[in-house]
Amino acid sequence: MKKSSMVLPLAIAVYSLLNPTLSRAAVKPSVSADTIYFGGNILTMSGDEPHYVEALAVEQGRILTVGTKSEVQRYGGPETRFIDLGGKTLLPGFIDAHGHIVDYTLRGNSPDLSPPPVSDVSSIEQLVAKMQRYLVTNPPPPGKVALALGYDDSLLAERRHPTREDLDRISRDIPVLVTHVSGHILAVNTKAIELAGITRDTPDPAGGLIRKDPQSGEPNGVFEEQAGQIFVPFLAVPSIAERGRLLDEFMHWYASFGITTAEDAISSPLNIAILLEKRKQAARPLIDIISYPMWAIFNDVLAGKKTLNIDYTPPNFDGCASVDTNGYLHRSGAADFDPEAREKVGVYVNGIKFAGIKITGDGAPVGKTAYLTKPYLHPPAGQPVDYRGYPTLPQAELDQWFDAAYRQNVQIVMHCNGDATADMMIAAVRQAIAKHGQKDLRPVMIHSQFIRHDQLVTMKELSIIPNFFTSHTFYWGDWHVNETVGRERAFGMSPMNYAHSLGMKFTNGADSPIVPPSIMDLVWTAVNRVSRSGLVVGPDERVTPYVALKSVTDYAAYQHFEDSLKGTLEVGKNADLVILDHNPLTVPPLTIKEIRVLETIKDGKTVYSAAVP
């Protein structure tokens, strides 16, 4: 009897080892889940093809297990919440692969000058009227400019930028500044020009242009790229405390789009000040924020060597390579990383991470300041027929930054809209690798708007990640076809499908606040590439909904060195989740942007629910 009583348990144990399904079913787990989701389309986003599981369990902010309903429900306990999805779709939380979330807090209550469908300004007349109404109750403090954002010359009835004369109709006594939708051009009135001390003799900064009247030679009020930074010290910016409060509101707004990780690229000193405050607060921010400080101020701000309040003097740009967003002038040849700044990189503190640096290599194609290898179809007024835009900084300085990055293991993400700028980044990366060897630094080419197929092949060889901006196909597809680059180049912009055919990892970003941070809109544009007029802008570069989703989940996590924590629904990863009312893989492609986010979960906790106003 004694011998047989020992043999039976041993036989059962051996049989269980040989039959793991029986073993899992027979043994109650020692850990109980906080929440178990089932009854819907649980799309893991792992692998090259769609993979669904029946259920998912969450425990202490992490994914405890995934699998069949019977397997996962074994982790249920007396305190477990069982959530029946009712046929809805559960995905990994969306990741903002490129944007500027903290920049939203600069606006305060200033007017939105965007055209429909974002806002309501379709002419300079409407812009002037909207600003006049705003200033009645919102005059800026003395010595500051009244700010408004988002006008789009491509959709204004006049098809041009507003000039100082246009803005003088708003006010001759109050300085006025309005920014272009791209964020790369701005227009000011005469009072603002006088406030900044700009005259006909003020030289253009490197990487920027002060547009002049061809007859008088006086500034006409339009400032491109680095020249626009002249006015940053005069912005009537809300206090750090107020901007911190606004950031909380914008994080909730981002969460309403299913975003659980947001980006603040080319963070200015003012933005970094807010993020550093958030790191100190007891309450964890609603979602994660990843910051890439502007290259020129990386050392000074993160190492605490510059204050945020500076004395302003009229600009003298001689010998300066760039002007940062707090008004500092930076000279060439200063590329390196201070140890005090470097040690802050790559580690989350209370939901905030500084991940590397952002370099702006050129401007915006919609404003015709992106740097191209071939001329623009229709150059800006006053430019020659062979005008191709221009870079923000010279190749020699760019090479120094990439050399320092590869020497000290710092990730660089670089804004490259034009293919000529892409060539510059490729050359800098190639040179750095030749000197320091191939490293897993995951350099990112932000926007990759008009890159060529041959460049993508080289980028794969150099492990450069393309970050696309497919929303351009809707918002400015017609403008690019008819005005900036012509049909052939416009059809090839954001070449996501070719990158996919090469087996590359790539991402997609809304560049918010350039356009709203709607992930479903990004997926919709990547899948359909339909313009405002209904033109399919580059049918060969369309991708499947699954591939489009990979660019905002799995691949976006990889871009940020967070693929071990985010991007797919796998055991041990953060319980960053989003619940949609429909499955993007099964609805008609043209209806993808109508899909609603029902709930967003960050680290296992609901941070947005459509059911709660």
Per-residue pLDDT tens digits for 485-509: 999 999 999 999 999 999 999 999 9
| Euclidean distance between CA atoms 294 and 522, whole angstroms | 25
The pLDDT confidence band at residue 19, using thresholds 50, 70 and 90, is very low
The structure tokens 């009227």 sit at 129
The pLDDT confidence band at residue 24, using thresholds 50, 70 and 90, is very low
The pLDDT confidence band at residue 303, using thresholds 50, 70 and 90, is confident
Mean pLDDT of 281-302: 88
pLDDT exceeds 50 at position 343: yes
Lowest-pLDDT range, 68-72, 213-217, 593-597? 213-217
The pLDDT confidence band at residue 106, using thresholds 50, 70 and 90, is confident
| Euclidean distance between CA atoms 174 and 178, whole angstroms | 13
The single-letter code of the amino acid at 56 is: L
Give the pLDDT confidence of 195-208 residue by residue, as tens digits. Answer: 999 999 999 988 89
Give the pLDDT confidence of 447-478 residue by residue, as tens digits. Answer: 999 999 999 999 999 999 999 999 999 999 99
How much of the chain exceeds pLDDT 90, in percent?
Answer: 78
pLDDT at 17: 39
Do the bridges between strand 146-151 and strand 176-180 make them parallel or antiparallel, or are there none, so unpaired?
Answer: parallel
Mean pLDDT of 598-603: 98
Give the pLDDT confidence of 107-117 residue by residue, as tens digits. Answer: 878 899 999 99
Lowest-pLDDT range, 60-64, 292-296, 392-396, 545-549? 292-296
Mean pLDDT of 336-350: 83
The single-letter code of the amino acid at 114 is: S
Mean pLDDT of 90-101: 98
The pLDDT confidence band at residue 6, using thresholds 50, 70 and 90, is very low
pTM of the model: 0.89
Identify the burial level of 88 via C-beta atoms within 10 angstroms of its C-beta, where 0-12 means exposed, 13-18 middle and 19 or more buried.
Answer: buried
What backbone phi and psi angles, to 5 degrees, belong to 514? -60, -50
Do the bridges between strand 507-508 and strand 465-468 make them parallel or antiparallel, or are there none, so unpaired?
Answer: parallel
| Euclidean distance between CA atoms 558 and 35, whole angstroms | 27
Q: Which domains does the chain have, with CATH numbers?
A: 109-234 (3.10.310.70), 241-306+327-607 (3.20.20.140)
**Which residues share a beta bridge with 43?**
52
Mean pLDDT of 191-218: 92
The answer to whether 505 and 558 have CB atoms below 8 angstroms apart is yes
User: What CA dihedral angle connects 194, 200, 203 and 209, to 10 degrees?
Assistant: 80
pLDDT at 282: 87
One-letter-per-residue 3-state SS of 101-149:
HHHHHHCCCCCECCCCCCCCCCCHHHHHHHHHHHHHHCCCCCCCEEEEE
pLDDT at 305: 60
Mean pLDDT of 118-135: 96
The answer to whether 175 and 145 have CB atoms below 8 angstroms apart is yes
C-alpha dist (Å) from residue 66 to 36, 247, 563, 604: 9, 34, 18, 14
pLDDT at 2: 37
